[in-house]
A and B are shown apart, each in its own frame.
Chain A
Amino acid sequence: QMQLQESGPGLVKPSETLSLSCDVSGDSINNLWWSWIRQPAGKGLEWIGRIYGGGITNYNPSLKSRLTMSVDTSKNQFSLRLSSVSAADTAIYYCARGRTFITVDGSPGDFFDYWGQGALVTVSS
């Protein structure tokens, strides 16, 4: 059974780096795309970025300058690092598995069929 589980500190100080990991069970992390999505309290969903099992990444341009994603195939795990955080980065962070289809233009596009339960990260001093 496919499961994803986020882990990491729940409290991060302003200007520091937010780090989260997502443990995947029930499927190999190889040959699939994996995404991070966040949701501020009471608000909507924002796609952060995605990583392929081989390490290729695509980031949301609005976060790209502060964002690093990585994958550890030996642990079947992928990770997120967001630097120089502020209160605006306070949110529930979800990891999710991407199901990839190819557009008519030949580009890949993902929707998300499995999600982690989410990890609340608060940015505060």
Chain B
Amino acid sequence: GAVVSQHPSWVICKSGTSVKIECRSLDFQATTMFWYRQFPKQSLMLMATSNEGSKATYEQGVEKDKFLINHASLTLSTLTVTSAHPEDSSFYICSSRARDTQYFGPGTRLTVL
């Protein structure tokens, strides 16, 4: 399968600060990446589709000004949680699509104090 890395694996920040999460496809080029969020003991919910060289497509209910997505190259997409609040604490997972399959990064656990 394809390898997707994510950094950092966990982060703790104060309320009001911004946090950037990186998602890299290591052994293939991905024109499309996806960002999901998972609350404890729940399923994964799609937040947005990240398209290389163009604007991301956000799902209904996801604030695009709060969750900034940048897909500047074929191997890197970033998610920035701006002015984070405790309710943003969650497990954020990215995926890259390769050969009709999505491969997931290891996830980033965000805790906002």
**Are both chains from one complex?**
no
Residues of A within 8 A of B (CB): none
